[in-house]
Amino acid sequence: MEKKRIVFLTGTRADFGKLKSLIEISSNSEEFDVHIFATGMHMQSQYGYTVDEIVKCGYKNIEMYVNWTSEESMDKTLAKTIEGFSDYVKRIKPDLIVIHGDRVETLAGAIVGSLNNKLVAHIEGGEVSGTIDELLRHSTSKLSHIHFVSSESAKKRLIQMGELSSSIYVIGSPDIDIMVSNKLPSIEEVKNRYDITFEEYAILLFHSVTTENGRMPKNVEQVVDAVLESELNYVVIYPNNDLGSECILNQYKRFENNPRFRVFPSIRFEYFLVLLKMSKLLVGNSSAGIREAPYYGVPVVNIGTRQNNRTSLKEIHNCGYSTTDILDGITKFYNLHPKKVELFGQGNSNNLFLETLKSESLWNVNPQKQFNDIEVAN
């Protein structure tokens, strides 16, 4: 039987972390010919040129494509990604395109797939948040044919959007597969690799909010003020390369020559997980504060609107951008030791994903989508 050709599209260190266990299990199956299209932040030296981390995993078929224009031109980045991925898809002729989340690269993958009559599988659709990311995610879902979601609530939202229930598979969040792995490095290995000498530390992971771009310089200034005033040790990781990221990086220059801060463009996903697990607090507005941190029982100070509506847990301190509010959250939540919260799967997403790939029903999905009306009582 001829192998099914699958392309995984990845644009950031974060979505690669989500896709990695799915890539590995399908690569190890004799039924599939797996390819990777690496673009976006992976190809930028400013953010650690993380395509190297993909290469180090030993995958055979990796296409590298530079799509970056500038942080002010996310629409042009989208257009350039569509152009490059379209040429690639026409060349290798995949049977399935797998994409994740809510990035412009993700939307590009869905557009190219749907317009070229290729099946598109979207990982973690049906989520909600407080920014333009949600619009990108929902648009991507509408252009995708198959959905691998993290929860029943996400499935319900997709059904509300007119997606067929038969094309939605609840597999949990795939990064948990790696989170519970017994192959993670030790904290000593992580600290040695990144030259982190702190005994105790918090993590700062703050991204720009594109819909609040005019206010981002002031917002991030207050974030940096708060962490400086807290007098704690911090591992700081660069934001995504979205509109507004430069003003964050400019503020991070205030950490230079301060022994309480170690600043990194990127940290390998497995190593980041160990750092997170052993940290006393996560500060910022990353989805890691909604997913990974609660799973490890790490308290979170979630700043601003970027993760609005994602979840409501007592282990997460939601606050505004004022220095006082942020500092108050840091003081109250540092080293809190909340209970672990397991909402997004049991660490077997890869097996559920592979089981679905091997089912005949998935490959019989009609690329000509139909809107599924929901009956509403009069």
Can you tell me which residue has the tokens 């190890």?
28
Contact 229, 327 (CB under 8 A): yes
Rounded Cα distance, 345 and 187, in Å: 25
pLDDT digits (tens, 9 = 90+) for 126-145: 988 767 778 999 999 999 99
Q: Mean of the pLDDT values across residues 1-12?
A: 92
Given a cut of 60, whether residue 378 has pLDDT beyond it is: no
Q: Mean of the pLDDT values across residues 249-259?
A: 97
CATH number at residue 81: 3.40.50.2000
Rounded Cα distance, 53 and 49, in Å: 8
Question: Is 371 part of any domain?
Answer: no
- Structural domain total, the chain: 2
Contact 287, 344 (CB under 8 A): no
Q: Are residues 311 and 353 in the same domain?
A: no
Rounded Cα distance, 87 and 92, in Å: 9
pLDDT digits (tens, 9 = 90+) for 100-128: 999 999 999 999 999 999 999 999 999 88
Percent of the chain with pLDDT over 70: 96
Q: Are residues 239 and 154 in the same domain?
A: no
Given a cut of 80, whether residue 294 has pLDDT beyond it is: yes
* pLDDT recorded at residue 335: 77
Q: Are residues 117 and 262 in the same domain?
A: no
- Which tokens is 223 given? 């974030």
- Which tokens is 280 given? 């006393």
Q: Are residues 161 and 207 in the same domain?
A: no
Question: What three-state secondary structure class fits 146?
Answer: strand
Q: Are residues 123 and 204 in the same domain?
A: no
Using the 8-state DSSP alphabet, how is residue 262 labeled?
A: E
Q: Are residues 25 and 150 in the same domain?
A: yes
Question: Is 373 part of any domain?
Answer: no
End-to-end CA distance of the chain: 51
CA angle 206, 211, 214 (to 5 degrees): 85
Question: Is 341 part of any domain?
Answer: no
Q: Are residues 118 and 22 in the same domain?
A: yes
Range of the domain at 290: 187-333
pLDDT digits (tens, 9 = 90+) for 39-67: 999 999 888 899 999 999 999 899 999 99
Given a cut of 90, whether residue 338 has pLDDT beyond it is: no
Contact 261, 255 (CB under 8 A): yes
Question: Is 376 part of any domain?
Answer: no
Query: How much helix, strand and coil, in percent to the nearest 5, is found in the chain?
Result: 45, 15, 40
Question: Is 377 part of any domain?
Answer: no
Question: What three-state secondary structure class fits 301?
Answer: strand
Band of pLDDT at residue 218, cut at 50, 70 and 90: very high
Q: Are residues 38 and 171 in the same domain?
A: yes
Phi, psi of 210 (to 5 degrees): -60, -30
Question: Is 206 part of any domain?
Answer: yes
Burial of 335 (0-12, 13-18, 19+ CB in 10 A): exposed
Q: Are residues 130 and 211 in the same domain?
A: no
- Which tokens is 186 given? 């030790």
Question: Is 357 part of any domain?
Answer: yes
Q: Mean of the pLDDT values across residues 14-28?
A: 94
Least confident residue range of 2-16, 78-92, 203-217: 203-217
Q: Are residues 248 and 270 in the same domain?
A: yes
pLDDT digits (tens, 9 = 90+) for 152-204: 999 999 999 999 999 999 999 999 899 988 999 999 999 999 999 999 999 99
CB count in 10 Å sphere of residue 149: 26
Q: Are residues 101 and 171 in the same domain?
A: yes
- Which tokens is 299 given? 């308290």
Question: Is 339 part of any domain?
Answer: no
Q: Are residues 175 and 223 in the same domain?
A: no
Q: How far from the centroid of its chain's Cα atoms is residue 87's Cα?
A: 25
